[in-house]
Amino acid sequence: MLLWRYYKSRIKALLPHEKVGVSYDWITKERVCARMPSLYVHVPFCQQKCDYCAFYSHSLRDSPKDLISVYLEGLEMEMAKRQKDAPQGVSSLFIGGGTPTVLQEPDLERLLGMIQRYFPMNLNVEKTMEGNPGTLTDEKIQLIRSFGINRFSLGIQSFNDELLSTVGRVHTAKQAREAIGRLRNTGFNNLNLDLMFGLPGQDMMIWQATIEEALSYLPEHLSLYGLMLEEGTPLYDRYSGEACPQREEQALKTTGDITIDSLPNEDTQAEMYEWVVKRLQQGGYRQYETSNFARPGYECQHNLGYWRGANYLGIGPGGVSCLNRVRWKNIEDVQSYEDLLCKGQSPLDQSGQEVLSLRECMAERMILGLRLGEGVELKAFNDDFGADLRDIYRDVLERYSARDVFVVKDGYLRLNSNYAFVANSIFQEFV
């Protein structure tokens, strides 16, 4: 998942007259180091769009039969055009969506083959594909493995069938268990499970049962996301964009044993988050980012690149790229994407390209970097921007000093873990 979208509007709100402690006049673009980019390939297809999903994707049930072929034609043209942006190769690969594994084997083989052809990678590079239970066969998994994919991210969300149905997931808990078994049996030893809390009708007991079952499969990595209601999604419309904090006891609508007329209130969600952080620590997982937990050595290198401010390429309709402070997004329309590439044009959306100011880059580095357990490295910030972040953000740091919100230790500025659940309100200070 590309994280820039969530923070972009906040970062753009940085005011020109804001006092930040030092002058920017002498900080040059060249100080932001050019790095080998990571590669994200967007596959905008799924069986059925989930009720909470705001990402660009097409339900195959409602799409023209030739749309995947149109997509692959456009994708190959863009890869041929963009391989020059990674002359030294890419630092990691993430194939996301949508649901990449919804593709049939010939299309999946074509996709993986063109990635291998235009962006060759050595064996040690982290190569992730995400997929959903119900779309994975032994043959597909073997094909994925044969192309060197060495990490798999499985979108489970819950092991409770009633909850899955409530949020529009089309797989069952049984299919999730079968998918884990298939991935393990085929040799995947770097497995991430995606799980969600704050779902309609979900209480602490259901959440704890989901986590305990997930831990029984010994995944190397867990990504745990609180439900976000985004405009334009069925769940947003159903709950009017509010978490209904006072109505849990009054809820009337049920499915099976679960009440779904309201969402868990903020206090309940905070308790879910605090409990799972402690439980995973007890289970040997390190919380290396606000929503991500890993056994030592299994942190997601691709996402670490985003959080540390590295360059990235996003291929496919809706893909987002950022190279040396220039950011652009592809159009979210498969047919228009392919048409533009056929005409020799770049498939950009209406916003085109934007050149990020140094202030915007600094704000992004702070907002994303402080989500990491390690925090923001003082030396790396100085190397990239030619200034000490403690001078740039002196006012913010002093404002929170009495509450020990920030900690400087071992060359990093970190967010006190006690404030992780309310981190977004704190991050506003950096924009």
Calculate mean pLDDT across residues 296-308.
96
pLDDT at 96 over 90: yes
Q: Strand pairing of 126-131 and 292-294?
A: unpaired
Integer-rounded Cα radius of gyration of the chain = 22
Instruction: Judge if pTM exceeds 0.95.
Output: no
pLDDT at 308 over 80: yes
Q: Left if phi > 0, otherwise alpha if psi is -120 to 50, otherwise beta: which for 21?
A: left
Dihedral angle, C-alpha 151, 153, 159, 162, nearest 10 °: -160
CATH 3.80.30.20 residue ranges for the chain: 32-307
CATH value of 1-29+359-431 in 1.10.287.110, 1.10.10.60, 1.10.10.920, 1.10.10.10: 1.10.10.920
Distance CA 89, CA 83 (A): 9
Calculate mean pLDDT across residues 300-319.
95
pLDDT at 49 over 60: yes
Q: What b/e sequence results for 106-138 when a residue is b if at least 16 CB atoms lie within 10 Å of its CB, and e otherwise? A: ebbbbbbebbeebbebeeebbbbbbbbbbbbee
Sign of CA dihedral 334, 339, 341, 347: negative
DSSP state at residue 63: S
CA distances from 249 to 129, 207, 229, 246, 427 (A): 41, 19, 21, 8, 33
Quick check: bond before 98 cis, omega within 30?
A: yes
Question: Contact 368/307 with Cβ under 8 angstroms?
Answer: yes
Sign of CA dihedral 279, 227, 258, 268: positive
CATH 1.10.10.920 residue ranges for the chain: 1-29+359-431
48 or 71: whose pLDDT is higher? 71
Query: What is the per-residue pLDDT for 33?
Result: 39
The label of the residue with tokens 């994303």 reads 368
Percentage of the chain modeled with pLDDT above 90: 67
Distance CA 416, CA 235 (A): 32
pLDDT at 259 over 70: no
Distance CA 339, CA 49 (A): 25
Model confidence band, residue 256 (pLDDT cutoffs 50, 70, 90): low
Q: Which residues contact residue 403 at a Cβ distance below 8 angstroms, ignoring those fewer than 6 apart?
A: none
pLDDT at 40 over 60: yes
Give the chain's largest Cα–Cα span: 64
**32-307: which CATH topology?**
pyruvate-formate lyase- activating enzyme (3.80.30)
Query: What is the per-residue pLDDT for 261?
Result: 62
